[in-house]
Chain A
């Protein structure tokens, strides 16, 4: 019932290219939250952004931007002018609020490699 799909397993770009990471989710809940996390080679998951199901405003933070579209159940992440330091695995996650649990349901991740 709750699922996150990141269809892109690996993406490789050259520095300064723009890149979009796709995320499609499934849930029956009307209230839910979506997150993006970054996992660099060191391994620690780093929180990037949170979006709730009632707020479809797009968000921009520096070179990062997020496009949330409820109509297509998508929450895509774009990095503008990519840099080598952006190389990491990026995870999209859903907090479905099913039964009151605060657990996160993660996608399988997209490994981004930015080459100099």
Chain B
């Protein structure tokens, strides 16, 4: 497809389990971003890659959150030992390089921690 693809669309996990969320960016997009969106709020930045390099991870809320993009294309956001406050929609976006480039978003993964 032409857009950013995220999977799974929905994920339910028990507290304490590990989860992995996948993002497939638009072909040719160098930059890839992860955001967390709580209900009724704006997206909050988590981390950003340029190709395979993670250039900014200042938004990751704890060391339980880990992201990778080993070949500069698909990215995975992993959350270890999930907690209820991790419940949110996780959005992935991709863009051409540069802060002036519009970011194109996927549909998100809705994560619910029971």
Bound-complex Cα distance A95 to B33 (A):
13
Contact A43 B108 (CB under 8 A): yes
Bound-complex Cα distance A28 to B60 (A):
23
Given the interface pairs A104-B103, A105-B45, the reply to whether A45 lies near B91 with Cβ below 8 Å is yes
Q: CB < 8 Å: which of B42, B56, B58, B107 contacts A108?
A: B42
Question: A50: CB under 8 A from chain B?
Answer: yes
Using C-beta atoms within 8 Å of the partner chain, give the interface range for chain A.
Answer: 20 to 34
Q: Show 17 residue pairs from A and B whose CB-CB distance is below 8 angstroms, ordered by the A residue.
A: A33-B100, A44-B108, A45-B43, A45-B91, A45-B105, A47-B104, A52-B100, A91-B42, A93-B42, A101-B58, A101-B99, A102-B56, A102-B97, A102-B99, A103-B48, A103-B56, A104-B35
Q: Hey, which bits of chain B sit against chain A, CB under 8 A?
A: 31, 33, 35, 40-45, 48, 50, 55-56, 58-59, 89, 91, 93, 95, 97-108
* New A-B contacts (4) at CB < 8 Å, excluding given A100-B55, A103-B33, A104-B35: A33-B99, A35-B102, A45-B43, A106-B44
